[in-house]
């Protein structure tokens, strides 16, 4: 966590209510499901959480940061069990990610906060730290495992390896998001099978570039 506006925890005075924290985040998710991003208001969230509006503003400066924190915890579920092959690992994590994007909270919130982040560097950093990096770690773990199995060669140039990791991440995450939110079509097993085949088949060609 460690993300909301808590610059220096004071050692004196009444402490912040942890129950209020969780109630606010839960109320935010509920409001996202019910109203969506654009119709969600701070006053409504406060009412749902049984909390005064001023209590919200003591913790989050604006709607953007509140929603990022409310949605971020959902991405903690993402895991990468070792299924024995690169293709199986890819398919599993893609289906997991797609499952998250099916949820109405994330569907309406994720794109909205990313859109806002194009003009708000601190927000972009907050999203990166609490959501994006968590996904990216799965790519790194997947590549490491595939190398240990001998499915992928160990890249000699660390700079190139990083660039390929970045590419894979943008391709996988971007494709799933685009399929789910822009094309608005289901991320089903067949589509995932084709995507992972494309990746596994294409990785060799990319590595050959050097």
Partner DNA sequence: CCATTACGCTACGACCCGTAGCGAAAGGCT
Partner DNA sequence: AGCCTTTCGCTACGGGTCGTAGCGTAATGG
User: Is the CB of 52 or the CB of 198 nearer to its own copies?
Assistant: 198
Integer-rounded Cα Rg, in Å, for the chain is 20
Q: Choosing among its own copies, DNA, none, which partner's interface includes residue 182 (Cβ < 5 to 8 Å by kind)?
A: its own copies
Instruction: Residue count of the chain, please give it.
Output: 210
Q: Which one of DNA, its own copies, none is in contact with 12 (Cβ closer than 5 to 8 A by kind)?
A: DNA
Residues 6+ apart with CB under 8 A from 77: 96, 100
Among positions 1-30, residues that touch DNA (CB under 7 A) are 10-17, 20
CA distance 6 to 182: 36
Interaction partner, residue 36 (DNA, its own copies, none; CB < 5-8 Å by kind): its own copies
Which two structure tokens, joined as six digits, stand for 171? 């391709």
- Give the separation between CA 50 and CA 185, rounded to whole angstroms: 38
* Beta carbon nearer to its own copies, 95 or 167: 167
Judged by the rule CB under 8 A, the positions of this chain that interact with its own copies are 36-38, 104, 107-112, 114-116, 118-119, 124, 127, 132, 163-164, 166-167, 169-171, 173-179, 181-185, 190-191, 193-195, 197-206, 208-209
Angstrom distance (rounded) from CA 64 to CA 122:
11
Find which of its own copies, DNA, none residue 42 binds, CB within 5 to 8 Å per kind: DNA
Query: CA 150, CA 156: separation in Å to the nearest integer?
Result: 15
Chain residues that interact with DNA, rule: CB under 7 A: 10-17, 20, 41-44, 50-55, 57-59, 62-63
């Amino acid at each position: 966590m460690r993300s909301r506006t808590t610059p220096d925890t004071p050692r004196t005075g009444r402490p912040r209510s942890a129950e209020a924290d969780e109630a606010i985040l839960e109320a935010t998710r509920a409001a996202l499901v019910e109203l969506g991003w654009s119709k969600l208001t701070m006053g409504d969230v406060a009412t749902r959480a049984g909390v005064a509006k001023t209590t919200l503003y003591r913790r989050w400066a604006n709607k953007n940061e509140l929603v990022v924190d409310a949605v971020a915890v959902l991405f903690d579920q993402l895991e990468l069990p070792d299924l024995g092959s690169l293709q199986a690992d890819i398919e599993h994590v893609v289906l997991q990610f797609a499952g998250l994007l099916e949820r109405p909270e994330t569907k309406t919130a994720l794109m909205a906060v990313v859109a806002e982040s194009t003009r708000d560097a601190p927000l972009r950093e907050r999203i990166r730290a609490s959501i994006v990096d968590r996904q990216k770690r799965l790519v790194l773990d997947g590549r490491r495992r595939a190398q240990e199995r001998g499915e992928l060669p160990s890249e000699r140039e660390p700079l190139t390896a990083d660039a390929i990791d970045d590419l894979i991440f943008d391709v996988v995450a971007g494709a799933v998001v685009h399929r789910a939110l822009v094309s608005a079509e289901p991320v089903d097993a067949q589509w995932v099978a084709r995507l992972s085949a494309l990746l596994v088949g294409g990785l060799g060609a990319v590595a050959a570039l050097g």
